[in-house]
Chains A and B, each alone.
Chain A
Amino acid sequence: MKWRVIELETRNAYSNMAIDNAVMEEVRAGKSIPTIRFYKWLPSAVSIGTFQSMANEVNVEECNRSNVSYVRRLTGGGAVYHDSNGEITYSVIAPESLFPKNIIESYKVICSWVISGLAILGIKAEFVPINDIVVNGKKISGNAQTRRDGVLLQHGTILYNTDIKKMFSVLKVSKEKISDKFIESVEQRVTKVVDYADVKQDDVYFALLKGFTKDKEFEFGYFSADELKRAEELEKEVYSADSWNFNR
Chain B
Amino acid sequence: MYKSAKLKVLGGKLLEITLEYNGVIKKATITGDFFMYPESALQDIEKSLVGTKVERTEQEIAEQISKKIEGIGVTMIGIGVEDIAKIVKMAVEE
Contact = CB atoms under 8 A, between A and B. Distances in A.
**Chains A and B form a bound pair:** yes
A50 to B, nearest CB: 6
Contacts of A53: 16, 29, 31
Overall SS of chain A's interface: loop
B74 interface: no
A83 B5 CA distance: 31
Contacts of A78: 13-14, 33
Interface stretch (A59-67, A141-149, A173-181): A141-149
A49 B32 CA distance: 8
A29 B30 CA distance: 32
Nearest to B37: A147
Contacts of B34: 51, 76
Secondary structure call for the B interface: strand
A104 B35 CA distance: 11
B33 A51 contact: yes
Contacts of A52: 31-33
Query: Which range holds the interface residue count of chain B?
Result: 10 to 19
- Size class of A's contact patch? 20 to 34
B39 A49 contact: no
Given A51-B42, A56-B16, A130-B78, A144 B31 contact: no
B35 A144 contact: yes
A2 B29 CA distance: 42
Interface of A: 49-53, 56, 74-79, 103-104, 130-131, 144-148, 248
Q: Which 10 A-B pairs have the closest CB atoms?
A: A78-B33, A76-B35, A53-B31, A49-B33, A248-B31, A77-B33, A52-B31, A51-B31, A147-B37, A130-B78
Given A76-B35, A76-B36, A248-B31, 8 more contacts: A53-B16, A75-B35, A103-B37, A145-B35, A146-B35, A146-B39, A147-B38, A148-B38
